[in-house]
Amino acid sequence: MSDGALSQDEIDALLAGVDPVGPGAGGGAAASPDPGSGGSGDDRMAVQDFLASTVDALSSNLSMMTNPEVSLKNPKVVSTNRDAFLQNLPGMVTVTRINFSSGFPGEHLFLMSEDTAKGIASLMNKEENITLDEMAMSVIGEAVSTMVGTQITSLTGKTGNKSIAAIPPETANIPKAAAALPGGNFLAASYDLNLGDGKSHQLWEIFGAGVSGDIAGALLGGGMGDFNIPPGMQGMGGGGPAGGMAPNMGGSMMGGMMGGGFAGNPGMGGMMQGMGPSNVQSVQYPSLMPQAGPQEQGNIGLIMDVYMEMTVELGRTRKLIKEILSMGEGTIIELDKLAGEPVDILVNHKLIAKGEVVVIDENFGVRVTEIVSPMERMTDIG
């Protein structure tokens, strides 16, 4: 501020022990949400149309985790910035960060008010007057993770990009000024959320500028996925599959640059010609993974209906015989796993994956978070 005083938002952030101007927090002058800023209107509409196409599936999956009355409606997307967006939020918000890690990597998060977070956690845990403790945060993160899984499935089908993935959700209830929003302008989607309690609820979904641009480009036909190619170069090298470069990118694109220069820049072309001809070829690497032969692939169908024992291992420990014999009701056994660490998933006593424990209705379940690589599994077998 020009007079050197702190705003109320900055004071709230300092009391919460979080720097609102830290990584991913953003900044800039206050402005009203403007659909025309921070990206083309085509990008904003492409993201809004995509969200509208998935809202029924999101409602259905959310209802299965809560009750049939829960629904999401009317996703509306605007381009905004941190200061303008914070004006729409209550003092305390529940934030779930679930960034995309591949496919369209970048910042992605959901925000809701405390009342909305308590409503969702109460429905999922089937208890009233719930407090937003660690268990409630975990439940809300699971609901958001399910929604994002639905979005990823739809995005994969629409863009052909099969590498889309997201990090495990991280949920916290914090002052709005402490929320680490993307820097600069970003896309914010608002949903009308019905929890069946007669109250009006809103859910916000935030896409960082890089994520929204990549998603919109893929939905509109660009489909470059993980590659950040300048718009003027996206047409070079022929039309490739969504989510990757064209197969002849190295030959036609580089050949055109070296031989004829950049389109629309004769001076650049002359400079490149002066460097002499170049023979550019892509490097071919041998596969390091064992490949099944045709006969092996054909025979695997013979064992598809064979049952195998699957075990989820919470942890292990070693005890003396006298300690085991002295055990009784109420004895606490300390395991070698830390709280929050992934549990091991074994098939026929061989580790194949890791996951986190969830509750489905009244039963325990495990959500797979990591698949052990074939090389690790072969080492374990050996």
- 8 Å CB contact between 215 and 155: yes
Q: What is the pLDDT of residue 93?
A: 93
The answer on pLDDT for 30 being more than 90 is no
Q: What is the pLDDT of residue 298?
A: 52
- 8 Å CB contact between 315 and 335: yes
pLDDT (average), residues 169-191:
91
β-pair partners for 97: 109, 170
Reported residue count of the chain is 382
Tell me the average pLDDT of the chain. 75
- Higher-pLDDT residue of 6 and 266 is 6
| Per-residue tokens: 253 | 């694109």
Architecture field, domain 8-219: 3-Layer(aba) Sandwich (3.40)
Confidence grade of residue 12 (pLDDT, cut at 50, 70, 90): low
Residue spans of alpha helices (H) in 274-315: 294-299
The answer on pLDDT for 190 being more than 90 is yes
Whose CA is closest to 56, among 200, 191, 190?
191
Q: What is the pLDDT of residue 373?
A: 79
CA 210, chain centre distance (Å) = 13
pLDDT (average), residues 150-158:
92
Q: What is the pLDDT of residue 126?
A: 81
Of the candidate CATH numbers 2.30.330.10, 3.40.50.720, 1.10.3720.10, 1.10.10.410, the domain formed by 305-381 belongs to 2.30.330.10
The answer on pLDDT for 203 being more than 90 is yes
Whose CA is closest to 196, among 361, 110, 71?
71
The answer on pLDDT for 208 being more than 70 is yes
Q: What is the pLDDT of residue 96?
A: 95
Confidence grade of residue 79 (pLDDT, cut at 50, 70, 90): very high
What is the residue-wise DSSP string for 36-77?
Answer: TSSS-HHHHHHHHHHHHHHHHHHHHHHHHHS-TT-EEEEEEE
- 8 Å CB contact between 111 and 132: no
- Higher-pLDDT residue of 299 and 189 is 189
The answer on pLDDT for 336 being more than 60 is yes
Q: What is the pLDDT of residue 172?
A: 92
Distance CA 8, CA 12 (A): 6
Q: What is the pLDDT of residue 61?
A: 82
Residue spans of alpha helices (H) in the chain: 8-15, 41-65, 82-86, 114-125, 134-159, 209-219, 254-260, 266-273, 294-299, 321-325, 374-381
pTM: 0.53
Where exactly are the structural domains of the chain? 8-219, 305-381
User: How far is CA 365 from each of CA 17, 85, 93, 359, rounded to the nearest angstrom?
Assistant: 35, 37, 29, 6
User: How far is CA 268 from each of CA 32, 33, 85, 262, 274, rounded to the nearest angstrom?
Assistant: 42, 40, 43, 6, 10
Residue 311 φ then ψ, to 5°:
-130, 140
Distance CA 297, CA 302 (A): 10
| Per-residue tokens: 222 | 């660009």
Q: What is the pLDDT of residues 225-238, one digit of tens each?
A: 444 444 444 444 44
Distance CA 100, CA 88 (A): 25
Q: What is the pLDDT of residues 126-148, one digit of tens each?
A: 888 888 888 889 989 988 998 99
